[in-house]
A and B are shown apart, each in its own frame.
Chain A
Amino acid sequence: MRAGRSAADSRCLSGCRSGKMAAARVELESLEKTLGLRRRNKLGPSPSDSAVPVLQTNNGPGLVGLTTIASHLVKVAKKEALLGSTAEESAIVQQWLEYRITQIDRCNSQEDTRVVLKELNCYLEDKVYLAGNSLTLADIMVYNGLHHIVAGLTHEEREKFMNVSRWFNHIQHCPGVRQHSAAVIFMKNRLYPSVH
């Protein structure tokens, strides 16, 4: 009885995790295309945690983790500018990559997503990109992480988080970023003036 239940639990767990793994693979593949990398890298699940992707490189042990692999791919593609052009920018890029993994990917409820959207909306009030004055890996990764959340918002909510919407709409139109994700539609005019 007890053994049976725990087996079922672990099956569900691995099911969810392999789902996350598949999502990570799709995301990294689309990032390869964005970066203009021809060669497909081989991804596999980490032996200790199946939700974490591992990239087998030619030299040394595998690279573990979504943002680690993403940063590595940027360097392979020789587009280091995407990691920030100054020390400050690089630090900010790293901070948002971490935010993506620790905050956005761990949204389990409506309240969690509200908190994330509110924070981002405040941060983006006076910014075009997350770090510096041009597109960085932070924009791409946060865009990817938010896509399913923003796509599920009503027009009223998109208007409420207006700075997020403006930034998101801009990023999805940056060449090569969107790849196969569906374009999210934003209204050009305010429909809900009383929301503000």
Chain B
Amino acid sequence: MTKGESGGVQEDQPQSKKAAKKLQKEAEKAAKKAEKQAKLASENQAGDEEDFAKDRYGILPMIQSQEKLDRVLVHVKTLTEEKADQVVWLRSRVHTSRAKGKQCFLVLRQQQFNVQGLVAVGDHVSKQMVKFAANISKESIVDVEGIVRKVDQKIESCSQQDVELHIEKIYVISAAEPRLPLQLEDAMRPEAGDEEGRATVNQDTRLDNRIIDLRTMTSQSIFRLQAGVCQLFRETLIKKEFVEVQTPKIISAASEGGANVFTVSLSISQSMKYSLKFMFRAEDSNTHRHLTEFVGLDIEMAFNYHYHEVVTEIAGTLVQIFKGLRDRHQTEIQTVCKQYPCEPFKFLEPTLRLEFPEAVAMLKEAGVEMGDEEDLSTPNEKLLGRLVKEKYDTDFYILDKYPLAVRPFYTMPDPHDPKYSNSYDMFMRGEEILSGAQRIHDPQLLTDRALQLGIDIEKIKSYIDSFRYGAPPHAGGGIGLERVTMLYLGLHNIRQTSMFPRDPKRLTP
């Protein structure tokens, strides 16, 4: 350090010499650049003069509903061989663009479909137009007119593999900023792509820029499939003459005393029966499968003699959903599989029902040490899922007769063995998606159980009172929509199946 300082004077001269050289070089560079620009400008000017296609491209003024055009815009997904040689208009995003001499290849995307577009210098297309097309930033929205042409060799990178679009007009409707926070191609790359040393996008970056991440074909497919789950849930239950109800989410006190409840002057209800709604959980769990706000699909029904009537009904509903997804959403399943490979979801009819002691025996046989009345830990749940899959070849099963000690106060005890209860969980790929039970419909027993567990009777008075005027035996269960979607598709993080996920660490976007 001190040596360098003392030698500073000596080094001064050579440094200034170097600096002078550097300056000179820079000046030369600048001169060259200016020359080049001048040349380019003159070329452009010359180009402008002879640009025969200047009306065929450009940036359109903002659409402010000034005119009603009767131009028909077709959807990218309809571009197939049947449309060959037709002239079509379409509005799409610029997914990628690649200029190559006198032509420019664009991939045009609309939702989960894309097609290759080609702007090539010819009778209708000028050099300047190719250049304009090549400079449109990715993710910009464009209106395009072109001729659909069959291709000899399938275009592997696009969903519309048999045709390409020979573009004759291209207008920018909305330009995207040239620098994107993440590249869609990176966000769609399978995780195994690491081997090629190419970039993938991590979960937090995706969620911070969810608006862009939702544009990937994978995300588009995930949320279409999720909508399918809701639709199939409703369809199936309407056929069974269930009634959809809406109940308040804001209540005065925790009705269950299970998980923690948000206390914001009023508590937000943990669980209500009979509907499809937003649910809240105030547990501070930062795991791959917990959200603080999620959509619950709840079923509650009265039964005649045995709560298995209800279990059969709920399992049947889920099987209908699985069948519906398999039959209606194969395209979406395949698309997601391309990025997140997974085996197809398997289920049995009728659904496999195991009892808790059987599960404990299976786990013990596999070397797990656990007590008979102990709840299943997450790793044990997953291992059990594997054991069940290996033994019965199903990804969906019911686990019945949970120990009473691990269930809420309103769970009906088992008539034959008071250590157990009439409660059940349902599992997909070894993870819980539904928790349910026969509820106690007798006010006296309900009060006794609440007292045994040290729950303040005053706080749940209205719940207990509702059983004083006669109530039929009933049972039910709540399904987490995001979990069903995640596990059906074999995804590994619930944040992928929630559009704007909420967890203890995330409130935006």
Contacts and interface: CB of A to CB of B under 8 A. Distances in A.
Interface string A178-196: 0000001101011110100
A155 B383 contact: yes
A154 interface: yes
Interface SS majority for chain A? loop
A191 B379 contact: no
Contact of A155 (B342, B366, B389): B366
B367 A185 contact: yes
B367 A192 contact: no
Nearest to B386: A191
A185 B379 contact: no
A194 B367 CA distance: 22
B387 A191 contact: yes
Task: Determine chain B's interface SS by DSSP, over half rule.
Answer: helix
B367 A191 contact: no
Central interface residue in A184, A190, A191, by most chain B CB within 10 Å: A191
A184 B367 contact: yes
Interface string A131-169: 000000000000000000000001100000000000000
Contacts of A189: 390
Question: In this complex, which of B365, B387, B389, B390 has the most chain A Cβ atoms within 10 angstroms of its Cβ?
Answer: B390
Given A185-B366, A185-B367, A187-B366, A155 B343 contact: no
A50 to B, nearest CB: 34
A154 B378 CA distance: 13
Nearest to A193: B343
Contacts of A185: 365-367
Nearest to B389: A191
A193 B305 CA distance: 42
Contacts, number: 21
Nearest to B391: A189
B367 A190 contact: no
Contacts of B389: 191
A155 B386 contact: yes
Contacts of A190: 390
Contacts of B343: 194
Contacts of B386: 155, 191-192
Interface in B372-398: 379, 383, 386-387, 389-390
B99 to A, nearest CB: 42
Interface in B324-342: 342
A154 B390 contact: no
A187 B366 CA distance: 7
A190 B393 CA distance: 12
A190 B389 CA distance: 10
A155 B379 CA distance: 11
Nearest to B342: A194
A186 to B, nearest CB: 9
B391 to A, nearest CB: 8
Contacts of A154: 379, 383
A156 to B, nearest CB: 8
Contacts of B379: 154
Nearest to A191: B386
B173 to A, nearest CB: 44
Contacts of A155: 366, 383, 386
A187 B342 CA distance: 23
Contacts of A184: 367
Nearest to A182: B367
A194 B386 CA distance: 12
Contacts of B367: 184-185
B212 to A, nearest CB: 30
Contacts of A191: 383, 386-387, 389-390
Contacts of A187: 366, 390
A187 B383 CA distance: 12
Given A154-B379, A185-B366, A192-B386, 7 more contacts: A155-B366, A155-B383, A185-B365, A185-B367, A187-B366, A191-B386, A191-B387
18 contacts: A154-B379, A154-B383, A155-B366, A155-B383, A155-B386, A184-B367, A185-B365, A185-B366, A185-B367, A187-B390, A189-B390, A191-B383, A191-B386, A191-B387, A191-B389, A191-B390, A192-B386, A194-B343
Interface of B: 342-343, 365-367, 379, 383, 386-387, 389-390
8 closest Cβ contacts across the A-B interface? A185-B367, A191-B386, A191-B390, A189-B390, A155-B383, A185-B366, A187-B366, A192-B386
